[in-house]
Amino acid sequence: MKRPTITIIGTGALASLFAARLAPYAQVTMLGSWPAALATIKQAGLTLLDGTTEIVRRNVVATSNPVAVPPSDYVLVLVKASQTERAAKLIPEVLAPDGLVITLQNGIGNAETLAVKVRPVQIVTGITTQGANMQGPGVVRAAGAGLTQLATTPQTQAKLTQLQLLFNTATLATKLTEDLASAVWEKLIINCGINALTALLRCQNGALLEKNSARALMDQAALEAYHVAIAQGISIAIDPVAKVRAVAAATAANRSSMLQDVTRGSVTEIEAINGAVVRLGNNLGIDVSTNAVLANLVRAL
Ligand code: KPL
């Protein structure tokens, strides 16, 4: 059987993790704009550090040129939310006519941004709790095997079932779901509580639990996001405060993705996380004042 063609847009931690895991089972191309990562992957392959094992994938193609990319059965969008618009412009050049685009990015609003350039029936929203940390250009460390969930519709089901099989074979545990909104918002609630605060306080996730003042802000940001979800009719199965505290404890030693962004001087995902909750909350007449302050402080930073 012909191996599927998969283009991964991005060269960061999750993009590299997915590329390295999928490379034995698919023809994988990484389409990115980080020159050092592209050069390293071309010259030395893509390196995955998994526990004490070092795996080098030499069959991953890395390029910044969409013209060099074969028509892709699947395009995985794994760039920061602030780069979604740029990614959207590349997709029509690399997507096969019957291909699917899967966004596995943080926050909300990415599918809408992609839909400006891609037919909405070809866009699949997903979320992943896979963990990965960049060790250097083209070198990624696996940091906790999470679950990937993909929103399925009758039109996308057949192709997504093939992708699910491929992901599972590649040890990327994957589930298809008809109700992704709950999972997206349950993740967003956690990210609202942890990401901005750790970026502002320059601390690891667990430190938010150690001071009453920080913990109260984390709890309140998560609670406001929960109220915004409920007001939209999205069913939320978690207790927001208990869950955000549990995740902060379980990922105590993590430097959140937003802390990593501000440390690197990169644009953060604040608009797709706390910023998005503030915009929706304001429209719905819900108090989102803690998220508003956090979003403004991160913007100011
Ligand atoms: O998803 C995360 C992130 O850093 O973006 C958490 C859950 C906060 C773990 O660090």
pLDDT digits (tens, 9 = 90+) for 168-184: 999 999 999 999 999 99
For 155-221, give the DSSP string. Answer: TTHHHHHHHHHHHHHTT--EEEES-HHHHHHHHHHHHHHHHHHHHHHT--GGGGGTSHHHHHHHHHH
By most ligand atoms within 8 Å of CB, the mutation choice from 108, 257, 259, 260 for ligand 1 is 257
Same domain, yes or no: 263 and 226: yes
CATH number at residue 187: 1.10.1040.10
Q: Which helix (H) or strand (E) holds 49?
A: strand 46-50
Predicted local distance difference test score (pLDDT) of residue 254: 86
State in Å: Cα 195 to ligand 1 middle: 6
List the 148-151 sheet strands across, edge first: 61-63, 27-31, 5-9, 72-77, 95-103, 123-128, 148-151, 174-177
Among protein residues, the one whose CA lies closest to atom 5 of ligand 1: 257
Does ligand 1 have an atom closer than 6 angstroms to the CB of 191?
A: yes
Q: Is 76 helix (H, G, I), strand (E, B) or coil?
A: strand
Of 206-215, 247-256, 274-283, the one with minimum mean pLDDT is: 247-256
Residue with tokens 């526990």: 51
Q: Are residues 155 and 236 in the same domain?
A: no
Q: Which of 43-57, 131-145, 223-237, 282-296 has the lowest mean pLDDT?
A: 131-145
Co-location of 110 and 254 in the same domain? no
Alpha-carbon separation of residue 191 from 56, 103, 149, 204 (angstroms): 32, 17, 17, 14
260 within ligand 1 shell (Cβ under 6 A): no
Report residue 15: phi and psi, to 5°. -60, -45
- Predicted local confidence at residue 253, as pLDDT: 87
Is residue 39 over pLDDT 80?
Answer: yes
Retrieve residue 199's tokens: 């970026």
Rounded CA separation 12/14 (Å) = 6
Is 1's pLDDT higher than 80?
no
CB of 30 shorter than 6 A to ligand 1: no
Classify residue 202 by its DSSP letter: T
> Is pLDDT at 257 greater than 70 in this prediction?
yes
**What are phi and psi for residue 269, nearest 5 degrees?**
-100, 25
- Whole-number Å distance, alpha carbon 202 to ligand 1 midpoint, is 14
Residue 241 contacts residue 189 (beta carbons within 8 Å): no
Q: Which atom of ligand 1 is nearest to the CA of 191?
A: 8
Task: Give yes or no: residues 185 and 279 share one domain.
Answer: yes
- pLDDT tens per residue across span 57-114: 999 999 999 999 999 999 999 999 999 999 999 999 999 999 999 999 999 999 999 9
Judged against a pLDDT cut of 80, whether residue 268 lies above it is answered with yes
Q: Check whether residue 37 and residue 114 sit in a common domain.
A: yes
Nearest-CA residue for ligand 1 atom 4 is 256
Same domain, 166 and 91: yes
pLDDT at 137 over 70: yes
Q: Atom 6 in ligand 1: which residue has the minimum CA distance?
A: 256
Tokens of 152: 């399925």
Element holding 147 (H helix, E strand): none
Place of tokens 């063609």: 5
Over residues 239-250, the mean pLDDT reads 96
User: Which residue puts its alpha carbon closest to atom 2 of ligand 1?
Assistant: 256
CB-based burial label for 217 (10 Å; 0-12, 13-18, 19+): buried
Instruction: Assess whether 40 and 151 both reside in one domain.
Output: yes
Asked whether 130 lines ligand 1 (CB < 6 A), one says no
| Residue 162 sits in the same domain as residue 17 | yes
Mean pLDDT of the chain: 96
- Give just the sign of the alpha carbon dihedral 177, 180, 182, 186: positive
Strands 27-31 and 95-103 come out as unpaired
With a pLDDT cut of 70, the percent of the chain lying above it is 100
Instruction: Beginning with the edge strand found earlier in the chain, give each strand of the sheet holding 46-50 in spatial order.
Output: 53-57, 46-50, 139-142, 132-136
Do 189 and 282 reside in the same domain of the chain? yes
Q: Tens of pLDDT along 116-132? A: 999 999 999 999 989 88
Helix axes 180-201, 212-231, angle to 10 degrees: 150
State whether 195 and 296 are in the same domain. yes
End-of-domain residue from the set 144, 177, 210: 177
- Asked whether 294 lines ligand 1 (CB < 6 A), one says no
Residue 131: per-residue pLDDT = 86
Residue to substitute in 78, 80, 205 for testing ligand 1 pocket (most ligand atoms within 8 angstroms of CB)? 205
Number of structural domains the chain divides into: 2
Predicted TM-score of the model (pTM): 0.92
What is the sign of the dihedral through the CA atoms of 198, 282, 149 and 87? Answer: negative
Which of 177, 205, 231 finishes a domain? 177
pLDDT for residue 144: 81
Domain that holds residue 273: 181-300
**27 touches ligand 1 (CB under 6 Å):** no
Identify whether residues 154 and 290 lie together within a single domain: no
Q: What are phi and psi of 55, to 5 degrees?
A: -115, 130
- Domain containing residue 167: CATH number: 3.40.50.720
If one residue of 198, 200, 256, 262 were mutated to test the ligand 1 pocket, choosing by the most ligand atoms within 8 A of its CB, it would be 256
Q: Please say if the pLDDT value at position 206 is more than 90.
A: yes
171 and 25 housed in the same domain: yes
